[in-house]
């Protein structure tokens, strides 16, 4: 019983360091894919989701104006 209490306290303590949205997403993944959920596992899932969100935000978006400067593939082919 004490072990389960410590696990629950560890999971609840993650709320102090991460936004609730990330914790909810990680909890959904953990409940769907794992039988035993530990604070270490939940923290790893949270950090993984957070890293994916950062990578998605770093992608460049191309506007129509920017696309007008991109040349077609035929421009680079030098077939004679």
Residue at 37 is within a domain: yes
Residue at 74 is within a domain: no
Residues whose CB falls within 8 Å of the CB of residue 38, separated by 6 or more in sequence, listed in order: 7, 10
Residue at 45 is within a domain: yes
C-alpha Rg value of the chain to the nearest Å:
22
Residue at 52 is within a domain: yes
How does pLDDT run along the chain (80 residues), one tens digit per residue?
Answer: 788 899 989 989 998 999 999 999 999 999 999 998 999 999 999 999 999 988 888 777 778 888 888 888 888 887 65
**Residue pair 37/31 in contact by the 8 Å Cβ criterion:** yes
pTM of the entire predicted model: 0.66
Q: Count of domains in the chain?
A: 1
Residue 19 is predicted with a pLDDT of: 93
DSSP 61: P
Residue at 73 is within a domain: no
**Under DSSP, is residue 56 helix (H, G, I), strand (E, B) or coil?**
helix
């Amino acid at each position: 019983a004490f072990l389960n209490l410590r696990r629950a306290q560890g999971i609840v303590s993650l709320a102090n360091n991460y936004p609730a949205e990330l914790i909810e997403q990680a909890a959904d993944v953990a409940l769907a894919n794992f039988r035993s959920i530990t604070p270490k596992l939940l923290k790893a899932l949270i950090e993984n989701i957070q890293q994916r969100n950062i990578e998605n935000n770093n992608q460049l978006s191309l506007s129509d104006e920017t696309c007008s400067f991109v040349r077609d593939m035929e421009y680079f082919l030098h077939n004679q």
